[in-house]
Structure 1
Amino acid sequence: MAEKSILAYFNTPEKAQQALEQLKGLQLIDSAIDRFDGYAGDGADRILTTGDIPSLGAMTLSGTFGDRDAGILAATSVSASGYSSGGYDNRVSGNDILLTAIVEEADYDKAMSIVRQSGAL
Protein backbone atom coordinates (compact mmCIF):
# COMPACT_ATOMS: atom_id res chain seq x y z
CA MET A 1 0.00 0.00 0.00
CA ALA A 2 1.19 3.57 -0.66
CA GLU A 3 2.14 6.04 2.04
CA LYS A 4 1.23 9.73 2.37
CA SER A 5 3.03 12.41 4.36
CA ILE A 6 1.42 15.15 6.44
CA LEU A 7 3.12 18.32 7.68
CA ALA A 8 0.84 20.09 10.16
CA TYR A 9 1.75 23.32 11.96
CA PHE A 10 0.42 24.08 15.45
CA ASN A 11 0.82 26.93 17.92
CA THR A 12 1.28 24.68 20.98
CA PRO A 13 2.96 21.31 21.56
CA GLU A 14 -0.15 20.14 23.41
CA LYS A 15 -2.36 20.58 20.34
CA ALA A 16 0.13 18.68 18.20
CA GLN A 17 0.29 15.88 20.78
CA GLN A 18 -3.51 15.73 20.93
CA ALA A 19 -3.66 15.32 17.15
CA LEU A 20 -0.94 12.66 17.24
CA GLU A 21 -2.86 10.64 19.84
CA GLN A 22 -5.88 10.60 17.53
CA LEU A 23 -3.70 9.67 14.53
CA LYS A 24 -2.46 6.61 16.41
CA GLY A 25 -5.91 5.10 15.84
CA LEU A 26 -5.14 5.04 12.10
CA GLN A 27 -2.47 3.20 10.13
CA LEU A 28 0.32 5.50 11.33
CA ILE A 29 3.74 4.50 9.99
CA ASP A 30 5.93 7.19 11.58
CA SER A 31 5.57 10.52 13.33
CA ALA A 32 7.50 13.33 15.01
CA ILE A 33 6.74 16.60 16.80
CA ASP A 34 9.38 19.34 16.57
CA ARG A 35 9.70 23.02 17.47
CA PHE A 36 11.48 25.14 14.88
CA ASP A 37 12.53 28.74 14.40
CA GLY A 38 14.19 30.81 11.72
CA TYR A 39 17.75 30.62 13.06
CA ALA A 40 20.54 28.10 12.84
CA GLY A 41 21.82 26.40 15.99
CA ASP A 42 20.22 25.60 19.30
CA GLY A 43 18.77 28.16 21.67
CA ALA A 44 17.10 28.28 25.04
CA ASP A 45 14.83 30.55 27.04
CA ARG A 46 17.46 31.86 29.43
CA ILE A 47 20.10 34.58 29.18
CA LEU A 48 23.67 33.40 28.73
CA THR A 49 25.69 34.48 31.77
CA THR A 50 29.28 33.63 30.79
CA GLY A 51 31.82 36.29 29.88
CA ASP A 52 32.07 35.06 26.28
CA ILE A 53 29.46 36.97 24.27
CA PRO A 54 29.96 36.35 20.54
CA SER A 55 26.73 38.12 19.52
CA LEU A 56 23.55 39.69 20.89
CA GLY A 57 21.64 36.62 19.68
CA ALA A 58 23.95 34.33 21.63
CA MET A 59 23.55 36.43 24.77
CA THR A 60 19.80 37.00 24.79
CA LEU A 61 18.57 33.87 23.01
CA SER A 62 21.28 31.52 24.34
CA GLY A 63 21.87 30.48 20.76
CA THR A 64 24.83 28.36 19.73
CA PHE A 65 25.24 29.64 16.21
CA GLY A 66 27.65 27.97 13.79
CA ASP A 67 29.02 31.21 12.40
CA ARG A 68 29.07 34.94 13.08
CA ASP A 69 26.48 35.72 10.39
CA ALA A 70 23.84 33.47 11.99
CA GLY A 71 24.41 35.22 15.34
CA ILE A 72 23.96 38.63 13.71
CA LEU A 73 20.75 37.51 12.00
CA ALA A 74 19.37 36.16 15.29
CA ALA A 75 20.07 39.54 16.93
CA THR A 76 17.46 41.11 14.63
CA SER A 77 14.72 39.10 16.34
CA VAL A 78 12.37 41.24 18.42
CA SER A 79 12.89 38.78 21.26
CA ALA A 80 16.65 39.41 21.18
CA SER A 81 16.50 43.17 20.81
CA GLY A 82 14.03 43.80 23.62
CA TYR A 83 11.62 45.73 21.42
CA SER A 84 9.03 43.05 22.05
CA SER A 85 8.66 40.37 24.65
CA GLY A 86 7.27 37.93 22.10
CA GLY A 87 4.74 35.49 23.41
CA TYR A 88 4.33 33.71 26.72
CA ASP A 89 7.64 33.17 28.55
CA ASN A 90 9.34 35.37 25.93
CA ARG A 91 8.86 32.74 23.23
CA VAL A 92 7.99 33.64 19.69
CA SER A 93 4.26 33.21 19.24
CA GLY A 94 2.74 31.59 16.19
CA ASN A 95 2.69 28.18 14.58
CA ASP A 96 6.20 26.98 15.43
CA ILE A 97 5.32 23.36 16.25
CA LEU A 98 5.53 20.88 13.37
CA LEU A 99 3.75 17.53 13.46
CA THR A 100 5.11 15.23 10.76
CA ALA A 101 3.11 12.07 10.14
CA ILE A 102 3.28 9.30 7.57
CA VAL A 103 0.06 7.33 7.13
CA GLU A 104 -1.22 4.69 4.76
CA GLU A 105 -2.91 6.25 1.74
CA ALA A 106 -6.29 4.79 2.73
CA ASP A 107 -6.23 6.83 5.98
CA TYR A 108 -4.92 10.08 4.50
CA ASP A 109 -8.25 11.95 4.29
CA LYS A 110 -9.21 10.92 7.83
CA ALA A 111 -5.75 11.97 9.10
CA MET A 112 -6.04 15.37 7.42
CA SER A 113 -9.45 15.84 9.01
CA ILE A 114 -8.00 15.02 12.44
CA VAL A 115 -5.13 17.53 12.20
CA ARG A 116 -7.41 20.29 10.87
CA GLN A 117 -9.95 19.72 13.66
CA SER A 118 -7.07 19.84 16.17
CA GLY A 119 -6.15 23.35 15.01
CA ALA A 120 -3.41 22.76 12.44
CA LEU A 121 -2.66 25.06 9.55
Structure 2
Amino acid sequence: MTEKNILAFFKTSEEAKKAAEQIKGLGVTDIQVDRFSKYPHGSADFINDPTTGDQPSQAALILGASSDRDTGVLASADVSASGMSDGGQDSVSGRDVLVAAIVDESKFDRAIQFVKDNGGLV
Protein backbone atom coordinates (compact mmCIF):
# COMPACT_ATOMS: atom_id res chain seq x y z
CA MET A 1 0.00 0.00 0.00
CA THR A 2 1.01 3.60 -0.56
CA GLU A 3 1.65 5.93 2.35
CA LYS A 4 0.89 9.66 2.66
CA ASN A 5 2.24 12.31 5.00
CA ILE A 6 0.18 14.64 7.15
CA LEU A 7 1.52 17.87 8.62
CA ALA A 8 -1.25 19.53 10.62
CA PHE A 9 -1.00 22.70 12.70
CA PHE A 10 -3.03 23.36 15.86
CA LYS A 11 -3.49 26.24 18.30
CA THR A 12 -3.43 24.08 21.44
CA SER A 13 -1.68 20.89 22.41
CA GLU A 14 -5.01 19.52 23.66
CA GLU A 15 -6.55 19.78 20.17
CA ALA A 16 -3.46 18.21 18.64
CA LYS A 17 -3.35 15.34 21.12
CA LYS A 18 -7.05 14.60 20.62
CA ALA A 19 -6.61 14.47 16.84
CA ALA A 20 -3.50 12.32 17.23
CA GLU A 21 -5.37 9.83 19.43
CA GLN A 22 -8.19 9.61 16.88
CA ILE A 23 -5.68 9.04 14.08
CA LYS A 24 -3.95 6.36 16.18
CA GLY A 25 -7.37 4.71 16.42
CA LEU A 26 -7.14 4.11 12.67
CA GLY A 27 -4.12 1.90 13.31
CA VAL A 28 -1.52 4.56 12.56
CA THR A 29 1.65 4.07 14.61
CA ASP A 30 3.98 6.63 13.03
CA ILE A 31 2.64 9.86 14.52
CA GLN A 32 4.21 12.64 16.57
CA VAL A 33 2.99 15.80 18.34
CA ASP A 34 5.47 18.66 18.80
CA ARG A 35 5.44 22.33 19.71
CA PHE A 36 7.74 24.60 17.72
CA SER A 37 8.96 28.16 18.09
CA LYS A 38 10.39 30.82 15.82
CA TYR A 39 13.15 31.42 18.34
CA PRO A 40 16.41 29.54 17.75
CA HIS A 41 16.56 27.75 21.09
CA GLY A 42 12.84 27.17 21.54
CA SER A 43 10.93 28.62 24.44
CA ALA A 44 11.99 28.42 28.06
CA ASP A 45 10.15 25.83 30.11
CA PHE A 46 11.18 27.40 33.38
CA ILE A 47 10.20 30.51 35.29
CA ASN A 48 12.68 33.35 34.87
CA ASP A 49 13.49 35.44 37.91
CA PRO A 50 14.41 38.96 36.76
CA THR A 51 15.79 39.84 40.19
CA THR A 52 18.78 37.53 39.69
CA GLY A 53 20.09 39.71 36.88
CA ASP A 54 20.61 36.64 34.71
CA GLN A 55 18.50 37.74 31.75
CA PRO A 56 20.27 37.29 28.42
CA SER A 57 17.73 39.40 26.53
CA GLN A 58 14.42 41.23 26.59
CA ALA A 59 12.90 38.31 24.67
CA ALA A 60 13.91 35.95 27.47
CA LEU A 61 12.24 38.21 30.03
CA ILE A 62 9.06 39.12 28.09
CA LEU A 63 8.42 36.01 25.97
CA GLY A 64 10.22 33.32 27.91
CA ALA A 65 12.28 32.69 24.78
CA SER A 66 15.36 30.70 25.65
CA SER A 67 18.21 32.43 23.88
CA ASP A 68 21.82 33.31 24.42
CA ARG A 69 23.19 36.85 24.25
CA ASP A 70 24.03 36.53 20.56
CA THR A 71 20.55 35.63 19.36
CA GLY A 72 18.75 37.57 22.09
CA VAL A 73 19.32 40.88 20.32
CA LEU A 74 17.42 39.73 17.24
CA ALA A 75 14.69 38.03 19.25
CA SER A 76 14.18 41.21 21.31
CA ALA A 77 13.63 43.21 18.13
CA ASP A 78 10.57 41.08 17.37
CA VAL A 79 7.27 42.92 17.69
CA SER A 80 6.06 40.36 20.23
CA ALA A 81 8.87 41.28 22.63
CA SER A 82 9.42 44.97 22.00
CA GLY A 83 5.86 46.12 21.40
CA MET A 84 7.22 48.55 18.82
CA SER A 85 5.23 48.28 15.60
CA ASP A 86 3.27 50.32 13.14
CA GLY A 87 1.07 47.27 12.56
CA GLY A 88 0.61 44.83 9.73
CA GLN A 89 3.66 42.66 10.32
CA ASP A 90 1.99 40.06 12.50
CA SER A 91 3.47 36.70 11.55
CA VAL A 92 2.02 34.95 14.59
CA SER A 93 -0.78 32.59 13.58
CA GLY A 94 -1.13 30.94 16.96
CA ARG A 95 -0.71 27.52 15.39
CA ASP A 96 2.49 26.37 17.01
CA VAL A 97 1.64 22.73 17.66
CA LEU A 98 2.43 20.28 14.88
CA VAL A 99 1.05 16.80 14.32
CA ALA A 100 3.14 14.83 11.85
CA ALA A 101 1.91 11.43 10.71
CA ILE A 102 2.51 8.85 8.03
CA VAL A 103 -0.74 7.10 7.16
CA ASP A 104 -1.85 4.47 4.71
CA GLU A 105 -3.50 6.00 1.66
CA SER A 106 -6.75 4.18 2.41
CA LYS A 107 -6.97 5.94 5.81
CA PHE A 108 -5.74 9.36 4.67
CA ASP A 109 -9.12 11.05 4.09
CA ARG A 110 -10.45 9.92 7.46
CA ALA A 111 -7.29 11.13 9.22
CA ILE A 112 -7.57 14.54 7.53
CA GLN A 113 -11.18 14.75 8.71
CA PHE A 114 -10.05 14.09 12.31
CA VAL A 115 -7.56 16.96 11.95
CA LYS A 116 -10.22 19.36 10.67
CA ASP A 117 -12.78 18.26 13.27
CA ASN A 118 -10.32 19.20 16.01
CA GLY A 119 -9.49 22.65 14.63
CA GLY A 120 -6.33 21.70 12.77
CA LEU A 121 -4.99 23.26 9.60
CA VAL A 122 -3.49 21.01 6.94
Q: Classify the TM-score, shorter chain.
A: 0.7 to 0.9
Segments of 4+ in structure 1 off by > 4 A?
Answer: none
User: Could you state the TM-score of these two structures normalised by the residue count of structure 1?
Assistant: 0.76
CA RMSD of aligned residues (A): 2.5
Unaligned segments of structure 1, at least 5 residues: 84-91
How far off is 1:67 after superposition? 6.3
Identify the match of residue 66 of structure 2 among 64, 67, 84: 64
Q: Which amino acid aligns with 2:99?
A: L
Unaligned segments of structure 2, at least 5 residues: 85-91
How far off is 1:42 after superposition? 3.0
How far off is 1:80 after superposition? 2.4
Q: State the partner residue of 2:89.
A: none
How far off is 1:75 after superposition? 0.8
Q: Which amino acid aligns with 1:63?
A: A
Farther off after superposition, 98-107 or 51-60: 51-60
Q: Is the 8 A contact 1:27 1:104 kept in 2?
A: no
Q: Distance in 1 between matches of 2:54 and 2:12?
A: 33
User: Could you state the TM-score of these two structures normalised by the residue count of structure 2?
Assistant: 0.75
- Matched-pair identity in %: 46
Q: State the partner residue of 1:54.
A: 56
Q: Is the 8 A contact 1:35 1:96 kept in 2?
A: yes
How far off is 1:60 after superposition? 3.0
Report the 3-state secondary structure (helix = DSSP H, G, I; strand = E; otherwise coil) of the residue aligned with 1:6: strand
The 1:40/1:18 distance shift into structure 2, 3 A limit, reads same
Q: Is the 8 A contact 2:57 2:67 kept in 1?
A: no
After superposition, the C-alpha distances for 1:33-77 in whole angstroms (9 at most, x for unaligned) are: 111121100322633433333322233334333561x21221133
Q: State the partner residue of 1:89.
A: none
Farther off after superposition, 99-108 or 74-83: 74-83
How far off is 1:4 after superposition? 1.1
Does residue 120 in structure 1 map to residue 106 in structure 2?
no
Alignment of 1:1-121 (within 5 A): 1-44=1-44, 46-49=47-50, 50-65=52-67, 68=70, 70-81=71-82, 94-121=94-121
